[in-house]
A and B are shown apart, each in its own frame.
Chain A
Amino acid sequence: MSGTDYSYDEQGQFFPIFIATIVGIVTIPLTYTVLKPSSDPGATAPRIKTDYRPEHADLIDIQRKAQKKKERKLKRILTVVAGWATIAFMGYLIYVTARTIPKIWNPYDILGISDSASEREIKSHYKQLSKKYHPDKAKPDPAKNETLETINDYYVELVKAYKALTDEEIRNNFIQFGHPDGKQSFSIGIALPKFIVTDGNGKYVILVYAALLGILLPYLVGSWWYGTQRMSKEKVLIESANNLFREYDEGLEEGGIVSALSTGLEFQNALKGDKAESGLGKLESRILAEGTATPLAGGLSTKDRTVLEDLDGGARRKALALLWAYLGRVELDDPALNQAKIEVAPIAHALNTSFTAIALAFGTTAPILASYLTGQNLLQAMPPKASPLLQLPFITPAIAKAIEGDSRTHLSLQDYMALPEAYRKKLAVGKGLLTEAQYNTAMSVAKQLPRLQVEKAFFKVTGEKYIIPSSLVSLVVKGRFIPPGSQDIPEVNELDLEDIDPDEDDLDAILGRKKKGVKGAKSEEEKIVQPPLAFAPYFARDYSPRWHVFLTDSKQGKIAVPPFTFTTFDKPIYDESGKPTFNMQTLKAQFQAPPQAGHYTFVMHLICDSYVGFDTKMEVTLVVDEASKGADIEADDDISEPDEDSIAGQMQAMKSGVPAPPKKKKNKPESSDDEESNTEEEVEDTSDTDTDTDEE
């Protein structure tokens, strides 16, 4: 057997199909990843409207744009475009070459009958046609461009086809092999153009093959593998994460965390070579100068200062100094330094996420809280323990201090905004303070900030009355977004909301939720509401705020239930005109109840990672009842509503032969085990009201 049996694809009939398939396998999924709605919150989330431009806004904008460019996956888009171009070209090739395939003479087609027609049908059909198309009968129709000759030819064709079909042998050939001449020689084609195998080209082909398999494949696999090894789960360099782990300490506070963050390797990469030292002296003199509100302009404590000064020179020291300059909003009078100052913040923020994960693994409350606070500080460019008022536009440390007066504790944003308008204005507007216009801008921003005010937090087991050991408990947090100083809305309205029995309010919410639960998750997904992007004018990235809910054990100082993170909500926060809707939002976190019955007092923390001073901390008590109690109640509900558990009643039930009447759940409003828990706010651990109004 010789090799000539294989025919190469000389006309290029199949090669394009082959190529198009291969390219398609790569391109189509890639197209999906490019076109898929981006998870980037910056694309869809609303923004807080303001015309405020911080200092060096141009620098910040440049960096934001650079980041966006980076995220735009330019390479991927180019690949996709190239892929589709190839596919289109191959499609064109297929289309063009398809015409060159010779057509097999097919008598069935000529006669216009199906392949399955019987001999009789063929005969009758032929007779009809011959009557119509016989040259003696048919008249040439000039309209159809017919002449005698064409009619004659067509008739000859018809006769030939008919002859072929009535011939037993030819017909059998057709039926068996699809060809009038009988079995055709069998040819195997290889979908490769011939030039690949022609003499002399072999070595190039081998070269390409070797390059693909020996170099490209190992390179791709290797870069993927080392890429995954290089980065930690929190998307920082693994070595930075290791350093952070080493820096972790139970007693770490916000300032200490900032110092710890400077160990990140990312800074070394950002501050390479010359950048590592240049301007360090100036930078340090600036941040260590006397500040207006803090002892040092950078907002460092004396401890942080010694940490900074104990460091050797180089990238780490500069990174730390830049971080303090950023946090203290210190003007550095040098474009390069200012640029670097803005640059370090997003890096530090990413590192801080990693540090939070590490602190969570250790489980001690204080560092966890400190790391969340550091995240807030980094976003808002505020030194640790600074006045939350600094989050507003135009407010400098000096102005914040003037507003707060000589107070030990800071005025939170919501407290300040809750002051009477006139008094508030008097504090902020004046000589050396804000101008009228600046004040108005600041107020308009403050009134848009999403502050989640917790109205109620309680535990429940879905569909159960009592929480029994080891059951799956949901912590339900009910809260409303109340921007600070929301006196724009009619005050009565708000009072109504507040004064209405919180229980009733809750009941509504619960009913609403229940309905949704029955319908399924679909309706929930439709109504996802994104909070506006964090108002962080100094931070060179768009950031969507997150809310973390977790429980801690205050006696042990340890975390009890790890954080649940919420990024979206189920009801609109603002209406079309940007006014807050004050809808009740529901946050739910599920965890396993302790295995023993008893009262467990937790401290619930609700932390917004984007704004300083919007956190909530309250005590909640989880009452876990004995498993038998839950069972008893259920039995009670099931058996006999007429009378109490008397023997007579039982006898009657037995006599009547109805062991248990159909389940009829009564709505028992009286609650059993609340009232004892809370001390400070209207926190109740209730299993009331929400008990039996549910789905079945």
Chain B
Amino acid sequence: MLGVDWWGLALPFAYIAVLLGALVTFSSMSRKRRAAKSANLAPWFPPHLQRNIYLSLLHLEPEEGKEKAPAVPDSVIRAALLRRAVEDIHRIIQIRSAKQACSTLLQRGSVGDDLWQRFERAEKEMEEELRDVVTEANALTPNWGQTIFQSANEIAAGTLLRKKLQDIQSQAPAEKEWWERRRASIQSEFMKELEAPSKGGSDDDAVLINGANNTASIRKKKGKK
């Protein structure tokens, strides 16, 4: 009655098994790959040098053979923190200006998804960083946290301005040299003209002639020279 053809039945089941198996493998593989990729995303910013300096100042290891770590003066620590805040300001500005552009470019498909991921990560990191700086500042001096970024901002702006000024001023020697040369050449030309007044005048004439009789003028010039 129930003469089931097991072999015949095995085939469709095998088919389903293979299909599902392939799908599952693919999905797990792609997930793993994506996770690995996002874990390996390069950081947006280079290592935070100023923060590292500040932290190493704060947690100085005692030198060998000594009990206590060397005492770091408060002013140095504060300066280090301020430096760190200045660097943070630079980074914040970069992030703020890039955010709009990054999102529009992502929508248009001009940049990739992982860039946006890196960007968002950097943004979060910066938020944490700012909070950390504020708490550190408050710990060093009460209520300094409220003003530290203001001063940092001013320092950053001042540095930028000074750099621009320097760039401009660094061009000065080259400019000066060129003008010197120029003046010398003009002077020598004038001297030549003074020595041979007739020549100079006709040369100017030749310059002004143009159009149909150009060949003639050239010949004229050549003849004179």
Contact = CB atoms under 8 A, between A and B. Distances in A.
Interface of A: 214, 218, 229, 232-234, 238-239, 241-242, 245-246, 248, 250, 354, 357-358, 361-363, 406, 408, 420-423, 425-426, 487
B40 interface: no
B48 to A, nearest CB: 17
B112 A423 contact: no
Contacts of B112: 229, 232, 238-239, 241-242
Contacts, number: 83
Contacts of B109: 232-233
A246 B98 CA distance: 9
Contacts of B100: 361
B214 interface: yes
Interface string B204-225: 0011111100100110010000
Nearest to B175: A408
B114 interface: yes
A139 B221 CA distance: 112
Contacts of A246: 44, 115
A358 B109 CA distance: 11
Nearest to B212: A421
Interface in B72-129: 97-98, 100-102, 104-105, 108-115
B105 A214 contact: no
Contacts of B206: 422
Interface string B127-146: 00000000000000000000
A361 B98 CA distance: 9
A363 B101 contact: yes
Interface residues of B, number: 34
Point out which of B19, B26, B210 has the most chain A C-beta atoms below 10 A from its C-beta.
B210
B111 A422 contact: no
B110 A234 contact: yes
B111 A358 contact: yes
Contacts of B199: none
A233 B108 contact: yes
B181 interface: yes
Contact of A242 (B101, B114, B209, B217): B114
B211 A421 contact: yes
Contacts of B185: 406
Contacts of B211: 420-421, 487
A218 B22 CA distance: 11
A425 B111 contact: no
B207 A420 contact: yes
7 contacts: A233-B108, A238-B111, A357-B110, A358-B105, A361-B110, A422-B214, A422-B217
A241 B214 contact: no
Contacts of A234: 110
Given A362-B97, A420-B207, A420-B208, A245 B111 contact: yes
B178 interface: yes
A238 B114 CA distance: 10
A245 B104 CA distance: 12
B208 to A, nearest CB: 7
Given A363-B101, A406-B182, A425-B218, A214 B111 contact: no
Given A214-B22, A406-B181, A362 B110 contact: no
Interface string B190-212: 00000000000000001111110
Nearest to A353: B110
Contacts of B104: 361
Nearest to A215: B22
Nearest to A363: B101
A245 B214 contact: no
Contacts of A357: 105, 108, 110
A218 B44 CA distance: 35
Given A232-B110, A406-B181, 16 more contacts: A232-B111, A233-B109, A233-B110, A241-B105, A241-B112, A245-B102, A245-B115, A246-B44, A358-B101, A361-B101, A361-B102, A406-B185, A420-B208, A420-B210, A423-B207, A487-B211
B115 A242 contact: yes
A241 B111 contact: yes
B214 A421 contact: yes
A426 B218 contact: yes
A532 B96 CA distance: 43
Give the top 8 A-B pairs by smallest Cβ distance, nearest first: A420-B210, A238-B112, A361-B101, A422-B214, A242-B115, A233-B109, A362-B101, A422-B217
A245 B105 contact: yes
Contact of B105 (A239, A250, A361): A361
Contacts of B209: 420, 422
Interface string B21-36: 0100010000000000
A422 B220 CA distance: 11
Contacts of A358: 101, 105, 110-111
A242 B210 contact: no
Interface string B154-193: 0000000000000000000000001001100100000000
A487 B211 CA distance: 9
A619 B91 CA distance: 35
A358 B209 CA distance: 50
B181 to A, nearest CB: 7
A422 B204 CA distance: 12
Nearest to A238: B112
A301 B109 CA distance: 34
A239 B118 CA distance: 13
B110 A241 contact: yes
A406 B182 CA distance: 7
